[in-house]
Amino acid sequence: MADTTSNGAASQANPDPSRAVDSPKVWTTLITNTAYLSGLLTLDASLKYAGSKYPLVALYTDSFPEEGITALDRRSIPRKRIPYLLPAAHKDFTNDPRFYDCWSKLTPFSLVEYERVVQLDSDMICLQNMDELMDIPLDSAEEKGEGRRVFAASHACLCNPLNKPHYPKDWTPENCAFTSQHSSPEKAQTEGAPPDLGITMPNGGLQVVVPSTHVYDKIVAAMSDEKTSSYDFSDQSLLGDVFHGRWVALPYVYNALKTMRWKGVHDAIWRDEKVKNVHYILSPKPWDETEEDKGRERRDGANGWWWDVNGRRIREERGRGIDDGF
């Protein structure tokens, strides 16, 4: 059961805890602008194609324009307006402006109208049904964020395969939790590396959450601390710090970062047929590709999976009279 006993920060984040859709368990995804709208629509379609029995709820901020809201409504995608979250202090994310938006991905912890929320990034597609995430054992809301299984996520990959100079110097393959699994690839399909291994940071692209006002109040308290100015990766840095080692590490298949498939990154554990959810991190996104980009991506083919799902979605939408360019 979700925790509705506190009147703290969670109630401020979620002043109207009414369900956007009649389901106690939902997928959610954050949307702040139309640049990611094609991704959201294709994610929604992929969940349906995979046979999920749970709906996707779009969490939108005031920056999301009316044309985007209309696009969601035309496709009967449930939506909920949420406040835009920012901490008291944060790093200068000029090199990665996306991290300003990422703080708002902590909102699902406040959605006490639901028993369980699985937050997904909009640059993902579901390739296989993963409804089991709605039932994996996690701490109950009554444990108030003091237990050992506060939420579930996959590890962040620390390999920095594009050698981005502004990434932390200790983000190297030697410190990556996935590297520890290279000698046991079959196990890596069903188990994550321990959450307290190495630099213990979850990837914020997929979070399995039992909403709780007490847990959310802990998050907001951390966001009020000047320490957030040292967080390199906003929401996921905070979660890894506040709940250090007290989260469930999922196998990579639920948040399969496309870079992991590249030769020399984590292709030692990657298995196409096992992947349930692909995460198209970095730029360009599949929907922003140029012809040159498409040619470069033929080295791994991962973007082609997105285009296959997107193409099916668009054909079906046009059959229903929906052709708005998204």
Peptide bond into 168 cis (omega under 30): no
- Cβ proximity of 40 and 85 under 8 Å: no
Q: Where residue 69 sits, what CATH number does that domain have?
A: 3.90.550.10
Q: Is 168 part of any domain?
A: yes
d(CA 67, CA 39): 16
Q: What is the structure's pLDDT at 98?
A: 58
pLDDT of residue 299: 44
Look at the alpha carbons of 298, 299, 305, 307 in this order and tell me if their dihedral is positive or negative. negative
Is position 271 within any domain?
yes
Q: Would 288 be classed as within a structural domain?
A: yes
Query: Could you report the per-residue pLDDT of 280-301, keeping only the tens digit for each?
Result: 998 889 998 876 666 655 445 7
Strands (E), 108-232: 116-120, 124-126, 151-154, 206-209
Tens of pLDDT along 102-133?
Answer: 788 999 999 999 999 999 999 999 999 999 99
Is the pLDDT confidence value at 251 over 90?
Answer: yes
In a domain, 264, yes or no: yes
- Does residue 326 sit within a domain? no
Residue 269, domain member (yes or no): yes
For 220, half-sphere exposure in the C-beta direction (CA atoms, 13 angstrom radius) is 19
Give percent helix, percent strand, percent coil of the chain, each to the nearest 5. Answer: 40, 15, 50
Residue 32 lies in a domain: yes
Q: How many domains does the chain have?
A: 1
116 bridge partner residues: 25
Answer yes or no: is pLDDT of 222 > 60: yes
Query: Is 257 part of any domain?
Result: yes
Residue whose C-alpha is closest to residue 283's, from 301, 270, 271, 297: 297
Domain that includes residue 208, residue range: 9-319
Tell me the per-residue pLDDT of 51-95, one tens digit each, with 9 for 90 and over.
999 999 999 999 999 999 999 999 999 999 999 888 886 666 565
Mean pLDDT to the nearest integer, 192-207:
93
Name the pLDDT band for 322 (thresholds 50, 70, 90): very high
Rounded to an integer, the average pLDDT of 27-34 is 96
pLDDT tier, 16 (very low <50, low <70, confident <90, very high otherwise): confident
Structure-block tokens of residue 294 = 């498409």
